[in-house]
Amino acid sequence: MIEVQNLRKEYGGFVAVEGSSFSVDRGEVFGVIGPNGAGKTTTLKTLAGLIEPTAGTAVVADRPAGHPEMQRTLGFLPEESPLYEEMTAHSYLEFFADLYDVPGDVASERIAEALDRLDLEHRDRRIGNMSKGMKRKVAIARALVNDPEVLIFDEPASGLDPLTTNYIIDFTRELSDEGKTIIFSAHNLFHVESICDRVVIMNEGEIVARGTLEEIRDAHGGTEYHVYATVDVGGAVQENGHFRHVVDDMDAVDRIRATVEDDGGRVTDIQTHTPSLEDIFLDVAGEARA
């Protein structure tokens, strides 16, 4: 559904995105993560057709980014979404539905459904008087008025309280279950980890890691097993009166167990350590900086 090849974006002489290539399959939830200034928003805005790339191509639903037909199949949630403060959520969303030529009765039904599912309270309040979380929900509903196939969400839950954040993440997961293709950027890696099929990690304009979370984990050390024993059978570190042996597969765990017993010792604990996306992210971004 999304194909990006050798994307490059310069602002003046400054290179914000350099040689970025990736693709997103139909129905996939794809995460773009990276520190501030990594080039995430630039990438997403290019996909949404709001920024012209300096070089390279971005294709969404078989059309070049920015093509009017492609815009119809797209829902874009910008990082900061300007809303018309004087309008109510309903009139605002009807206005956008009209821009997409959605017939009035379909629009009313779709808007009511989106606002119900997003659990938007006080929907008759003028937008200017809504809380930050309520405004974000209105912006998300706006991205859905044309019933798009592809959703581009830039930091959908940034700066929101944990409850609203969870609500939005769960809703994003539901949209994916319904077959929507979703690409989104986020700072909260826990949420990326909980809903993304694949991710790219960007740093200073370049993709520095990519793949499923499992692939990225494997490429960055993968799962480790810590075998604690009363004796050192080689390479152990002493910790709280026990010897900690670190290995990366279950066969090695079994070998250590057998050797410990042969040496007259005893295994006291075995722990599994799986690096979180946050651990990997700090590692990868740190390496790239270095």
Ligand X SMILES: Nc1ncnc2c1ncn2[C@@H]1O[C@H](COP(=O)(O)OP(=O)(O)OP(=O)(O)O)[C@@H](O)[C@H]1O
Residues that bind ligand X (CB under 6 A): 11, 14, 16, 34, 36-42, 79
Of 176 and 188, CB closest to ligand X: 188
Maximum Cα interatomic distance, the chain, rounded to a whole number of Å: 80
Those residues whose C-beta lies under 8 Å from the C-beta of residue 52, and which sit 6 or more positions away, are 46, 66
Tell me the closest approach of the beta carbon of residue 157 to ligand X, in angstroms. 13
Q: Residue 114 and residue 23: Cα distance in Å, rounded?
A: 28
Of 191 and 242, CB closest to ligand X: 191
Tell me the closest approach of the beta carbon of residue 202 to ligand X, in angstroms. 7
Q: Residue 107 and residue 147: Cα distance in Å, rounded?
A: 10
Of 45 and 217, CB closest to ligand X: 45
Tell me the closest approach of the beta carbon of residue 65 to ligand X, in angstroms. 15
Tell me the closest approach of the beta carbon of residue 16 to ligand X, in angstroms. 3
Cα dihedral across residues 178, 181, 185, 191: positive or negative? positive
Of 41 and 73, CB closest to ligand X: 41
Of 33 and 151, CB closest to ligand X: 33
Tell me the closest approach of the beta carbon of residue 44 to ligand X, in angstroms. 8
Q: Residue 109 and residue 49: Cα distance in Å, rounded?
A: 28
Contact status, residue 217 vs residue 199, Cβ threshold 8 Å: no
Of 52 and 109, CB closest to ligand X: 52
Q: 29-33 and 198-203 as β-strands: parallel, antiparallel, unpaired? A: parallel
Q: How far apart are the first and last CA of the chain?
A: 35
Q: What is the DSSP letter of 157?
A: T
Tell me the closest approach of the beta carbon of residue 154 to ligand X, in angstroms. 7
In angstroms, what CA-CA distances link 92 with 30, 106, 151, 197, 217?
A: 29, 15, 20, 33, 44
